[in-house]
Amino acid sequence: MAVKFYRPENQVPLEMHKVRVVQKLTLLPVEERLRAIQEAGNNTFLLQNKDIYMDMITDSGVNGMSDKQVAAMQVADDSYAGSETWNRAKAAIDEVFGVTNVLPAHQGRAAENILAEAFVKPGMVTLMNFHFTTTKAHITRLGGEVVELVDKKGLIPQSDDPFKGDFDLEALRKAIDDYTPEKVAFVRVESGTNLIGGQPVSLENMMAVCDICHEKGVVSVLDASLLQDNVYFMKMREPRCKYMETKEIYRLLASRFDIIYFSARKLGFSRGGFILSSDKKWTDMMMEFVPLFEGFLTYGGMEVRSIEAAAQGLLESLDMEYINQGPEFIAYLAKELDDYGVPVIKPAGGLGVHLNCSEFVPEMPHNQYPAAAVGAAVYIAGGIRGMERGTVSEQREPDGSERYAELELQRLAVPRRVFTLSQIKYCADRVKWVWDNRKLIGGLQWTQEPKVLRFFFGRMKEIGYWQEELAKKFRQDFGDSL
């Protein structure tokens, strides 16, 4: 239940924790921020942490752990095989999901690799509400194809629809029939669609997807990396879920999907990843790939202290006062920006706030990479590192042509229990300044473009000298201030 303030003007999301360990931050002068982003090839992934004030590039592996998680790390059983740490992790997964068939992987994309190796063959398709970058890369490298079937409402930047990540169920039925079930490697539901604003999927839609898959004889897979946010939205926005316990929702999903996998860097606020199923036949099909790619079946490439922290974090993910800290602070930042007139994806989803960069620079063509350009501008303005979730995050077609993103987004992730409210307000203030000076933002062009996952490694340079002009305008407006 939300905490209501006596004076309405004081209403803010309330931290349900206290800070006991702190890390010093640095806010560089704007001239040094300009130098840093240019040396990084306008790729925020290539910035050095020492040059960043607010690191909003991701919520993966950078969330604040609880005191109980830190304590759990001290009792880790560092055994190659037969580890008690692994037994405790399996017990936690059984408590949360109600399943005992579990495989480890060192993180979510490693689980995707195992899934792809087990199920994807050349010429097969995987059907998804929306793709994620690494998921798609694993499938296409094995000769498969990704087909996106998100409901059209998911691509509307601003609406009041509560579940914009839902599958288009009619399109799903048609796709399975058209490709034939034998050609469908699996159907994947991403519970919190990363690339279109962290938008959730309703329980009703997930159950319908499972029904269709079972009817057609197709494997159903849930990417549960963002499930705790998704469960929060189910509880807040879906009448069916209002009075359901969180554990009831987790277990219902585990009973209906053939396979669930997730990154413990997100679900569990630790490190590592897991694959689980209520039916042993599915984990048996994938088991052989774990020692081949990850490590033995009781650690799977994870460091045992991380496994202990993940197990405790999973148990804590049943607590609504634990899982509300992401969505409520994200919603607050989104409202601050929306009140300022800054175009953001609405309603606010999980992960973070997503700036609609097509409205920042409406005349900029996709091949000048508007989302990356806005991200560079935000860093110059405030030392804030976001992540490009637009055309740079796509990959080129086999013929070398550019695949343009459906939405050009700059994501400002909000790691859980990391930033104070004053820092959230600082972020809103600096993004507002970028919005007011958006006419200064110019495009970018490649200087070094990798063939795969270019958003991780690629480098760009500004077209013209717009970044110098932006830094100059900042100095005019802010004087000697950082």
Residue 297: helix, strand or coil by DSSP? coil
Q: Distances in Å between the alpha carbon of 224 and those of 115, 201, 221, 481?
A: 14, 11, 9, 43
Q: Which residues are designated catalytic? A: 80, 132-133, 223, 266, 389, 455
* Burial category of 402 from C-beta neighbours within 10 Å (exposed 0-12, middle 13-18, buried 19 and up): middle
pLDDT at 452: 87
Which residues of 297-435 form beta strands (DSSP E)?
A: 352-356, 384-385, 387-389, 409-413
End-to-end alpha-carbon separation of the chain, Å?
39
Cα separation of 444 and 360, whole Å?
A: 15
Name the pairing type of β-strands 352-356 and 220-223. Answer: unpaired
Whether the Cβ atoms of residue 305 and residue 76 lie closer than 8 Å to each other:
yes
pLDDT at 9: 87
Question: What would the two tokens of residue 42 be?
Answer: 């306008």
What is the chain's pLDDT, residue by residue, as a tens digit (482 residues)?
678 999 998 899 999 889 888 999 999 999 999 999 999 999 999 999 999 999 999 999 899 999 999 999 999 998 889 899 999 999 999 999 999 999 999 999 999 999 999 999 999 999 999 998 889 999 999 999 999 999 999 999 999 999 999 999 999 999 999 999 999 999 999 999 988 999 999 999 999 999 999 999 999 999 999 999 999 999 999 999 999 999 999 999 999 999 999 999 999 899 999 999 999 999 999 999 999 999 999 999 999 999 999 999 999 999 999 999 999 999 999 999 999 999 999 999 999 999 999 999 999 999 999 999 999 999 999 999 999 999 999 989 889 999 999 999 999 999 999 999 999 999 999 999 999 999 999 999 999 999 888 999 999 999 999 999 999 999 999 999 99
Whether the Cβ atoms of residue 173 and residue 150 lie closer than 8 Å to each other:
no
Q: Which helix (H) or strand (E) holds 277?
A: strand 273-277
13 upstream amide cis, omega within 30 of 0: no
Residue 454: helix, strand or coil by DSSP? helix
347 upstream amide cis, omega within 30 of 0: yes
Helix (H), strand (E), coil (C) string for 68-135: HHHHHHHHCCCCCCCCHHHHHHHHHHHHHHCCCEEEEECCHHHHHHHHHHHHCCCCCEEEECCCCHHH
Residues linked to residue 102 through DSSP beta bridges, in sequence order = 276
Cα separation of 371 and 53, whole Å?
A: 20
Whether the Cβ atoms of residue 254 and residue 97 lie closer than 8 Å to each other:
yes
Residue 411: helix, strand or coil by DSSP? strand
Whether the Cβ atoms of residue 189 and residue 149 lie closer than 8 Å to each other:
no
Residue 143: helix, strand or coil by DSSP? coil
* Burial category of 302 from C-beta neighbours within 10 Å (exposed 0-12, middle 13-18, buried 19 and up): buried
Q: Which helix (H) or strand (E) holds 185?
A: strand 184-190
**Which residues lie closer than 8 Å to 230 by C-beta, 6 or more apart?**
191, 192, 200, 201, 350
Nearest in space to 226 (alpha carbons), one of 258, 265, 196: 265
Question: 130-159: string of b/e by CB count within 10 Å (b at 16+)?
Answer: bbbbbbbbbbbebebbbbbbbbeebeebee
